[in-house]
Every structure is written in structure tokens, then in C-alpha cells.
Amino acid sequence: MANDRGTCDELKIYVGNYSKEFTPKCPTCQYADPITVTPDLMGQFFTSTRSQEEADALAKAYIDRMGQAFVNKNYDDTCHTKTEQPVWETIETVCKDCISQLHQRNTNTCYTDPDNQERYIAGGNNTCFWFGTASKAFTRQCADGGVGSSVTVTHNDVTDPSPSSDGKFKSCVSQADANAKALAAVNSQGQAVANSKGTCTWTGSYTGQVRKNNCADGGVGDMVSVSSSKLPGHPYTSTVSLADANKKAENAVRGSDGQAYANKNGGCTWTYVASRDFYRNNCAGSGVGQRITVTSTQVNGGTPITSKVSLA
């Protein structure tokens, strides 16, 4: 009766579909490309008579659970060695060759080149070079007793025996080392610089005889020894030569200052000259004495009568 009265429904079967990528597990420093795992690849077949979603869920659950082990077992021969590059890590900032550099070390253990595990590259902000400064006072050397001026010689006035392209007295050690280089150059070259830039000063001297010339009443002035050191213009100096300084001193002695000194310090001499006529009065018999003019010099034994006080 069932066969006669019943109906037949079509049985529908849903086949699960799902895929997922798994990468085979490889030895250290080897790599494999991902494998897309499906039920077919694994030789599995997942079905459901209820729904497509149920079939897909069955496939997904199985592949999620077994997929990694499947590719590890069946695709281990796909592992290959990749061309590695170093991975650099900075371990310190240092000065090297006068440049701030980063000292780096490779952290990629799969990169095994023994000659390229460390490197130095420009970087960081370390101060790695210095330029020296120095100054020192020198006295110019002068001939003939001249007095030299003081000259301050600095690092700018001298040359660096080992100059660098970017400046003088460069040191990659320290500022003190750079300054020491500059000072050494100043010490060795400074005197020559001072002799070139400095001046010499000579002080002249002269002593001469000058006659006092301001005596009254015809008095004769004394000859006075006048030294340039006694005159108001002393010292008489020159930056040209000692001879030039001496000439200035001589001109002062022979000029108005020397004459003023002689007039102030010299004396005057007055000479008294008198005469009178006399007649000889001691002639014998009836002789008549002659007239004779007698001078004061004659009666003073031939020596003129003089005074240092006045003519009177």
C-alpha cells in the first residue's frame, strides 16, 4: 500500500568545499612556499545531506586540524635555502677616522658570511675632531740695543706643518691635543712672526759743548757740557735706527733746548781792561822821561783782570 500511495523525495548530497594555505615546516634558515590545502589534495571527501554549510564546516574542521601536519609530511622536499642578507643592529656610536660612526653587528643568524658580521657606517652625533687654538707673547729681537715691542702671536699667524683640507691644527684625539699642536707651531714660528710684525725702539744719546750766549755787558759765556739726557725732550727715540735716534739727540743738544740748558747752567766771564799814560820820572841828571801807556794787564803781570760776577 505504501508503495502504491507514497511519494518519492530526491536525496540531495552536499559536498564540503574549503581551502587554506599552510607553509611546510623547514629546518632553521630554510624556507618553503605556502601550499593550498583542499579536501581533494588530502584525499578526503566531506558530505552532508542537510546543508552545504554543514559540509563545508566538516571540511574546514578537518583541514584546520590536519592541514599543517599534512604539508609537513608531504611537502618537506619543497624547503629551500633563501639568499640571506644581514640584519644590522647598532651596538655603539664611536669615533673612527675622525668621523662619527655607528658600530653595527649582524643579528641574522642565517647570514653566515664570516667577513661581514660587523660594520662601521657614518652616523651618530659624536664630536670626533677638534681644531686647536693658541696664543703667546713674543718680544721682537732688535739690533744695536733697540727695545722690541711685544707681539701676541696666535694660531692664525702661523702655519700648520700637517694641515688638513678642512682646517689647521686638527686632532682626532681631543681638544687638548689640537691645542697642543697649535701651541707647538706658535712656539716654533712665533719669534719669526714677532720679528716681522713688531717694532724696535732705539733711545739716542749725545753730549756736546755749547757756549752760554746770554751774558750781559760783553761778558763771554762758558762752554757747557750738555747731555741730551738733561734736556726736556729726553728720551729721544726712533723706530728707524739707533743712528736716527742719536741724530735726534744731537739736534736737541745743538738746538734751542741745548742752548737754554747752557744759558741756565753756564757762567760768564768779564775782562776789565784799563790804561793810562805815565812819564818816566826816574831819569838821571836832566833826562826827560818818555810817556808810556800802561794797561791793567801789564800791571797784573800780563794776566787780564777778570770777574765771574760782573763787569763792574
Q: Is residue 159 domain-shared with residue 191, that is, in the same domain?
A: yes
* 40 assigned to some structural domain: yes
Q: Is residue 105 domain-shared with residue 138, that is, in the same domain?
A: no
Beta-strand relationship, 35-37 and 14-15 = unpaired
Q: What is the mean pLDDT of residues 119-138?
A: 96
Please state, in angstroms and as integers, the Cα–Cα distance from residue 151 to each residue in 7, 13, 197, following that order. Answer: 129, 112, 7
Q: What is the mean pLDDT of residues 27-39?
A: 94
Q: Is residue 111 domain-shared with residue 137, that is, in the same domain?
A: no
Q: What is the mean pLDDT of residues 278-292?
A: 76
Residue 2 has a pLDDT of 59
* 61 assigned to some structural domain: yes
Q: What is the mean pLDDT of residues 295-301?
A: 65
Q: What is the mean pLDDT of residues 224-251?
A: 98
Q: Is residue 96 domain-shared with residue 114, that is, in the same domain?
A: yes
* 312 assigned to some structural domain: no
Nine-digit cell string for 109 = 643568524
Residue 306 has a pLDDT of 61
Residue 236 has a pLDDT of 98
Residue 8 has a pLDDT of 60
Q: Is the pLDDT of residue 30 over 80?
A: yes
Residue 149 has a pLDDT of 98
Q: Is residue 33 domain-shared with residue 95, that is, in the same domain?
A: no
CB atoms within 10 A of CB 84: 14
Residue 5 has a pLDDT of 64
Q: Which of 51, 81, 111 is the last residue of a domain?
A: 81
Q: Is residue 52 domain-shared with residue 109, that is, in the same domain?
A: no
Q: Which of 142, 166, 198 is the last residue of a domain?
A: 198
- Tell me the chain's radius of gyration from C-alpha atoms: 63
Reported pTM: 0.58
Q: Is the pLDDT of residue 65 over 80?
A: yes
Q: Is residue 15 domain-shared with residue 76, that is, in the same domain?
A: yes
* 3 assigned to some structural domain: no
Q: Which of 198, 215, 232 is the last residue of a domain?
A: 198
What percentage of the chain's residues is helix, strand, coil (to nearest 5)?
30, 30, 40
* 118 assigned to some structural domain: yes
Q: How confident is the model at residue 266 (pLDDT cuts 50, 70, 90)?
A: very high
* 76 assigned to some structural domain: yes
pLDDT tens per residue across span 113-128 = 999 999 999 999 999 9
Residue 298 has a pLDDT of 65
Residue 183 has a pLDDT of 99
Number of domains the chain contains: 5
Q: Is the pLDDT of residue 89 over 60?
A: yes
Residue pair 108/84 in contact by the 8 Å Cβ criterion: yes
pLDDT tens per residue across span 188-219 = 999 999 999 999 999 999 999 999 999 998 89
* 140 assigned to some structural domain: yes
Q: Is residue 178 domain-shared with residue 238, that is, in the same domain?
A: no
Q: What is the mean pLDDT of residues 165-193?
A: 97
Q: Is residue 16 domain-shared with residue 76, that is, in the same domain?
A: yes
Q: Is residue 263 domain-shared with residue 301, that is, in the same domain?
A: no
d(Cα 135, Cα 187) in Å, to the nearest integer? 9
Residue 279 has a pLDDT of 72
Q: What angle do CA 120, 121, 125 make, to 5 degrees?
A: 110
d(Cα 231, Cα 255) in Å, to the nearest integer? 11
Residue pair 29/110 in contact by the 8 Å Cβ criterion: yes
Residue 292 has a pLDDT of 80
The crossing angle, in degrees rounded to 10, of helices 242-254 and 256-265 is 50
Domain span at residue 106? 88-122
Q: Which residue has the higher pLDDT, 218 or 74?
A: 74
Q: Which residues of 53-81 are buried (b: 16+ CB within 10 A; e: fewer)?
A: eebbebbbebbeeebbebbeeebeebbee
* 294 assigned to some structural domain: yes
Q: Is the pLDDT of residue 247 over 90?
A: yes
